[in-house]
Amino acid sequence: MAGPSDKARYYLEQSATELNDLERKKIFSREEISSIARKRSDFEHIINARGSHSSDYVRYIEFEKNVDALRRKRIKRLGVKYKGSGQRSIYFLYNRAVRKFSGDLGLWMQFIEFALKEKAFKRVNEILTSVVRLHPTKPELWIYAANYFMETQADITNARSYMQRGLRFCKNSQHLWLEYAKLETIYVAKIAGRRKILGLDIDRTKKSQVESDGDADMIALPEITAEDINPSLRKEDGVDEEALQNLASAPILSGAIPIAIFDSALKQFQGDAAFAEMFFNMFTEFEQVPCILTILQHVLAQIKQSFPRTVHTVACNFRMQLFAIHPSSPEFPPALRDGLDLLTSSVEQHPGMKTRLSEVAIRTVLPLVRTLEETEEQQLKKVLSSSLRKFSRWLEEGVTGMGGDAIAALAEALQQERNKADARVLVWSGLKQFGGNEKLQLSQKALGT
């Protein structure tokens, strides 16, 4: 069995020819070549020795990246025609590293990011295939792979395949279920957006028929999906208007696939009302998708049926009352009244829901308050401001400690969610009620309100 020195010598000999060519073409001087050779020798002896770490490979790879970058600059400046093995050497080192430390996901992700930076998409596909085979129970890898194919390659077929296979190994990953539904909803939004640009009518009333494909491990999806018609979503490709016209008769635009995923997830996590609410909240982010109302109505109906007396059902029902209704619309005042009545009656019947429902109400009302700031709707402003103060008091009543701490904690959570605009409104409102609270005062300074 070859020792570390023999292995190091073997790998160093492979790069000798390239170093001689670099010196002969005067891209690097003799002194620079000697320095590169010494550094490579040191790294090779380190990584081939017993007890080496993945960080040793990372330092070696970083050195080779610097050498390759310098080589490219010299070639460009000197006008020399030379195709070296710089990138091949880096890929080779990455391959050696992930073979030796196959369990280091950070190393795998660095490998993928490097290939992406170099636009080596075929190699990215190969790396993703390898890493999910080695780590099939890591949901984050399946999600990463699916998002890569969707966002970079505009390939819903492969993206969907990765999500489906991921769910075979990670059925108990709620995050994976949610991300799969989100991916399919994004795809619907892309198709609908393309049709809107082309001025094509969208059939929003057609109902979908979800049928099983005979595989017990796969989610039942609509019989006709968008890839059957295969309109390209890439900007540089030509637009197949006929295909997009045909999509009007396919169930994809009616939200059949996200609905099918939600139904399957609900069966997998029976009795988990919080998970069902997470689906509802995720879908509300896609307000502009034509079929989103159909999806939300289905989700809410299932939640009401499965969890009729939970805080999650009330929260979803309240958000549904105000969903996609602009404050300036004539429909908004009665919808707001019905929503507030729903919350009040629910809290009266179930006092234990007060804290949770207060937070839901505050999160829903804050964007509405911001929307009305620039309008002349004085009456609505008063109603929403009064409601915000009321829900803030309810929230504080359910939390022990100095008045205003719960509001400050919620404002901090909004900041962590990168929602500073709502956090500012909440802090401003909270200080009117609990002006002496130190945490609210600190939040005000941090937000610059």
Residue 382 amino acid letter: K
Closest CA to 290 of 359, 208, 193, 167: 193
Residue 15 contacts by C-beta under 8 Å, 6 or more apart in sequence? Answer: 40, 85, 89
Query: DSSP characters for 283-317?
Result: HTT-TTSTTHHHHHHHHHHHHHHH-TTSHHHHHHH
Q: Where are the alpha helices (DSSP H) in 15-85?
A: 16-24, 30-48, 54-78
Question: pLDDT band for position 10 (50/70/90)?
Answer: confident
Q: Average the pLDDT over 137-144 and give the result.
A: 96
For 387, half-sphere exposure in the C-beta direction (CA atoms, 13 angstrom radius) is 25
The domain ranges of the chain are 1-101, 192-308, 408-449
Question: What is the residue-averaged pLDDT of the chain?
Answer: 84
pLDDT of residue 328: 80
Task: Give, as one character, the DSSP assignment of residue 223.
Answer: S
Rounded Cα distance, 134 and 137, in Å: 9
Tokens 């490579």, located at residue: 40
Of 360 and 251, the one with more pLDDT? 360
Q: Average the pLDDT over 138-165 and give the result.
A: 95
Q: Average the pLDDT over 194-208 and give the result.
A: 57
Question: pLDDT band for position 300 (50/70/90)?
Answer: very high
Q: Are 317 and 343 in contact (CB under 8 A)?
A: no
Q: Does residue 377 carry a pLDDT above 70?
A: yes
How many Cβ atoms sit within 10 Å of the Cβ of residue 228?
14
Rounded Cα distance, 101 and 147, in Å: 25
pLDDT more than 70, % of the chain: 84
Closest CA to 419 of 344, 374, 362, 379: 362
Rounded Cα distance, 267 and 339, in Å: 29
Question: pLDDT band for position 200 (50/70/90)?
Answer: low
Closest CA to 340 of 365, 368, 377, 323: 365
Task: Give, as one character, the DSSP assignment of residue 442.
Answer: H
pLDDT tens digit string along 71-130? 888 888 888 776 666 688 899 999 999 999 999 999 999 999 999 999 999 999 999 999
pLDDT tens digit string along 207-243? 343 344 445 555 655 543 434 334 344 444 444 555 5
pLDDT tens digit string along 56-84? 999 999 999 999 899 888 888 888 776 66
Exposed (0-12), middle (13-18) or buried (19+): which is 254, by Cβ within 10 Å? buried
Rounded Cα distance, 47 and 52, in Å: 5
Of 441 and 264, the one with more pLDDT? 264
Question: pLDDT band for position 192 (50/70/90)?
Answer: confident
Inter-CA distances, 231 with 31, 156, 238, 241, 252, Å = 57, 11, 9, 8, 13
pLDDT of residue 248: 53
Closest CA to 318 of 302, 331, 300, 298: 300
Backbone angles phi, psi at 210, to 5 degrees: -95, 120
pLDDT of residue 240: 54
Q: Are 357 and 346 in contact (CB under 8 A)?
A: yes
pLDDT tens digit string along 249-266? 566 788 899 999 999 999
Task: Give, as one character, the DSSP assignment of residue 251.
Answer: G
